[in-house]
């Protein structure tokens, strides 16, 4: 893809609810430099900025904070409309449902020639199944008013089309971003500050990374651990992630105690260097029941760590290529999870295959590859490239 002349730089904006250290903010942070390298001017917009976040704004990127704090994104619609009129962005990518709906309404108040693409990264029907019906109704009404609707995977888009049939034929896969080579190298070089990693004995480590909440399925991993240890010997489980549900975290600890594996389970909580825990493990386990396009699988594969994941409705199967670059198991089944973890830990040939296949697959999600997918959409709107299709961006 050729770089745009500086005089014609497309003005791209990325809108998220919170600019913090979570997945969506990290996604736009990773995309900005390669988009700039492709000739784009990149801006960030957030409803609020987490003052405790260590995620920096890349050089050359302007961050516009609507300063809503904990209030809903929709309350920032007037401010957002004024920003659209003042800055005259060419294309806005609004990430997740709240920013997507709010951006559409703000454009209706006066967004000029702004092209708008809401991007969903979760499986809408399952992730929002306990939310108010009005969210679904508003999404079905508003998303057809966008210029395109993006999704982190084909499954995410298929689900959205069921919700809002009028967007059919106007969707595009915009994958989430895996780590770049520098990030992988840093993770591989940084040994986690914990005795299990500092002094590796004969024990092997199963690691999982994700916020500690029921939908991430960490309980399945705790209950699988005794079965794995019975077949594969001294195996330990490390659960890295913010304790967003403290009661669930306590329930995990209680269950580990009941099963007699408390000394082999480490609830690490939030870690600044979370990827280093993955990179220094023997196998990565993922037990979620609902996802969109979980990039933690790509992060593990990029680090050369074999993956075992639940086959939840959307996400893992696409990323793991129907099981060719990682193993898939039924959801909520500790025995099935234990069997596949044991296979990876005891079958050297299988392990080597998964490592090489995973590294190859992770390249499809590099920041430069994903930035090109976003840029193709922008260039389509600006009339500098043929229309983007799902097959081109998958």
For residues 345 and 324, the answer to whether their CB atoms sit within 8 Å is no
The pLDDT assigned to 21 comes to: 85
* 17 lies in some domain: yes
Tell me: pLDDT of 388 over 70: no
Q: 95: domain CATH number?
A: 3.40.50.2000
- Looking at the fold, whether 170 and 22 belong to one and the same domain comes out as yes
Same domain, 216 and 151: no
Per-residue confidence at 2, pLDDT binned at 50, 70, 90?
A: very low
Which tens digits make up the pLDDT trace of 141-164?
A: 999 999 999 999 999 999 999 999
The continuous run of DSSP H or E covering 203 comes out as none
Q: Using pLDDT thresholds of 50, 70 and 90, give the confidence band for residue 133.
A: confident
Model confidence at 130, pLDDT cuts 50, 70, 90, reads: low
Domain residue limits at 169: 6-177+366-393
Distance CA 326, CA 307 (A): 5
| Closest of 197, 218, 186, 390 to residue 302, by C-alpha | 186
Q: Give the DSSP letter string of 244-288.
A: SSHHHHHHHHHHHHHTT-GGGEEEEE--TTHHHHHHTSSEEEE--
User: Mean pLDDT over residues 277-306, rounded?
Assistant: 95
- Whether residue 113 contacts residue 136, with contact meaning beta carbons closer than 8 Å, is answered with no
| pLDDT value, residue 187 | 97
Q: Which of 5-19, 149-163, 299-313 has the lowest mean pLDDT?
A: 5-19
Name which of 206, 91, 203 is nearest 147 in CA terms.
Answer: 91
Query: Is 374 part of a structural domain of the chain?
Result: yes
Are 29 and 46 within one domain?
yes
How many angstroms separate the most distant Cα atoms in the chain? 66
Do residues 189 and 304 share a domain? yes
Q: Are residues 293 and 235 in the same domain?
A: yes
pLDDT given for residue 57 in this prediction: 95
Examine the domain organization and report whether 143 and 200 are in the same domain: no
Q: Is residue 1 part of a domain?
A: no
**Percent of the chain clearing pLDDT 90 (strictly above):** 81
Residue 192 lies in a domain: yes
Same domain, 315 and 376: no
Instruction: Examine residue 263 and state whether it is found in any structural domain, yes or no.
Output: yes
For 157, residues 6+ apart whose C-beta sits below 8 A from its C-beta are: 120, 149, 151, 171, 173, 390
Is the pLDDT assigned to residue 23 strictly greater than 90?
Answer: no
Listed in order, strand segments (DSSP E) in 142-257 are: 149-151, 171-173, 204-209, 235-240
Structural domain includes residue 238:
yes
Q: How many residues does the chain have?
A: 394
The pLDDT score that the predictor gives to residue 53 is: 84
pLDDT in tens, 91-120: 999 999 999 999 999 999 987 789 999 999
Residue 32 lies in a domain: yes
Q: Which pTM was predicted?
A: 0.81
Q: Are 254 and 337 in the same domain?
A: yes
Question: Does 215 lie in the same domain as 152?
Answer: no
Angle between helices 348-362 and 295-302 (to 10 degrees): 110
Please compute the mean of the pLDDT values over residues 263-272 and round it to a whole number: 96
Per the structure, the count of domains in the chain is 2
Given this model, what pLDDT does residue 111 score? 73
338 and 314 within one domain: yes
For residue 9, the model assigns a pLDDT of: 87
Interior/surface letters 152-178, b for 16+ CB within 10 angstroms, e for the rest: bbbbbbebbbebbeebeeebbbbbbbb
Q: Quick one: 328 and 384 in the same domain?
A: no
Q: Are residues 347 and 378 in the same domain?
A: no
């Amino acid at each position: 893809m050729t770089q745009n002349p500086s005089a014609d730089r497309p003005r791209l904006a990325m809108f998220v609810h919170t600019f913090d250290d979570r997945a969506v903010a990290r996604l736009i942070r990773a995309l900005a430099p390669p988009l700039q390298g492709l000739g784009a001017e990149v801006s960030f917009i957030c409803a609020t900025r987490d003052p405790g976040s260590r995620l920096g704004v890349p050089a050359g990127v302007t961050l516009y904070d609507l300063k809503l704090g904990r209030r809903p994104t929709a309350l920032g619609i007037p401010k957002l409309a004024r920003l659209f009129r003042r800055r005259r962005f060419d294309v806005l990518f609004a990430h997740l449902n709240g920013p997507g709906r709010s951006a559409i309404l703000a454009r209706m108040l006066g967004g000029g020639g702004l092209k708008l693409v809401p991007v969903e990264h979760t499986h809408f029907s399952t992730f929002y199944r306990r939310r108010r019906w009005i969210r679904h109704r508003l999404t079905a009404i508003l998303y057809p008013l966008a210029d395109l609707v993006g999704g982190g995977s084909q499954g995410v888009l298929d689900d959205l089309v069921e919700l809002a049939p009028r967007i059919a034929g106007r969707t595009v896969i915009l994958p989430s971003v895996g780590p770049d080579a520098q990030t992988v190298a840093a993770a591989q070089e940084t040994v986690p500050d914990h005795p299990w990693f500092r002094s590796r004995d004969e024990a092997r480590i199963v690691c999982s990374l994700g916020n500690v909440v029921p939908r991430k399925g960490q309980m399945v991993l705790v209950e699988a651990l005794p079965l794995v240890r019975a077949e594969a010997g001294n195996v330990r489980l490390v659960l890295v992630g913010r304790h967003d549900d403290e009661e669930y975290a306590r329930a995990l600890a209680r269950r580990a105690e009941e099963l007699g594996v408390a000394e082999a389970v480490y609830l690490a909580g939030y870690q600044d260097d979370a990827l280093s825990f993955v990179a220094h493990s023997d196998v990565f386990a993922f037990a979620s029941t609902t996802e969109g396009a979980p990039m933690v699988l790509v992060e593990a594969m990029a680090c050369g760590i074999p993956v075992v994941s639940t086959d939840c409705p959307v996400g893992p199967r696409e990323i793991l290529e129907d099981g060719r670059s990682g193993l898939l198991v039924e959801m909520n089944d500790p025995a099935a999870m234990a069997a596949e973890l044991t296979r990876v830990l005891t079958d050297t040939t299988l392990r080597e295959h998964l490592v090489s296949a995973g590294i190859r697959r992770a390249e499809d999600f590099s920041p430069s590859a994903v930035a090109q997918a976003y840029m193709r959409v922008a260039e389509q709107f600006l009339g500098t490239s043929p229309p983007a299709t799902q097959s081109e961006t998958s």
